Amino acid sequence: MNMSTRLIPNQPVPPLRVKTVGGPCWRLCDQKPQHFTLVLFYRGLHCGFCKAQLQAYEARYEEFRKLGVRVLAVSADDRERAERTVRDWHLDELTVCWGLTIDQARDWGLYLSEGQGKVFDGVEEPSWFVEPGLFFIKPDGRLYAGFVQTVPVAQPRIDDVLAGIRFAIETAAEPPGGADEQACRGDDCGCGKPVKLHAVGEC
């Protein structure tokens, strides 16, 4: 999959295997939550917006747990920076993962940025990092909803995220946004055939 390909609701997402701070390797294919796995891709230790976001999810962690949602945060930071993130941002409950590769980021359709030497709280940007993304993954590895951003501002409000999860659980509705799988099949429509991931694949 490449940067021009979108993940399609109700279709399997790419595999994801990353290292965790203070724990074993985390694999998406191992996750069997009651309702969703919520994957938060964040820029890294250098980002003040990400600090506020992850601290908000830390503060509401128990609400997600009671809803049957497992939450983790993933960045391309190295282990040392990820460990500082957990320590300095006081993330005691969230699973914080590190070492996301460029290929993995592209598979998930994330936007990439080059570091410009900017500093936040004494922390310099790395050579590259991902811009934010948020994905709700069903227990069977299919996408329910996704939000991909080019900038770290105007991220989905956590109250809206929780409300959306409650709505999805209560209604058991199929996710919208997957019409590309059936639409525009005429020979003259000019649309490219959408890519289907037929399985989660090796993790």
pTM of structure: 0.83
Rounded to 5°, angle at Cα 127 from 123 and 129: 85
Which residues of the chain carry a pLDDT beneath 70?
1-5, 178, 180-203
Q: Are 195 and 93 in contact (CB under 8 A)?
A: no
Domains of the chain are: 17-181 (3.40.30.10)
Instruction: Specify the pLDDT at position 203.
Output: 55
**What is the spatial distance between Cα 141 and Cα 57, in angstroms, rounded to a whole number?**
22
Residues near 167 by Cβ (< 8 Å), separated by ≥ 6? 173
Q: Are 13 and 152 in contact (CB under 8 A)?
A: no
Instruction: Specify the pLDDT at position 172.
Output: 81
Instruction: Specify the pLDDT at position 24.
Output: 86
The per-residue pLDDT for range 180-190, each reduced to its tens digit, is: 555 555 555 54
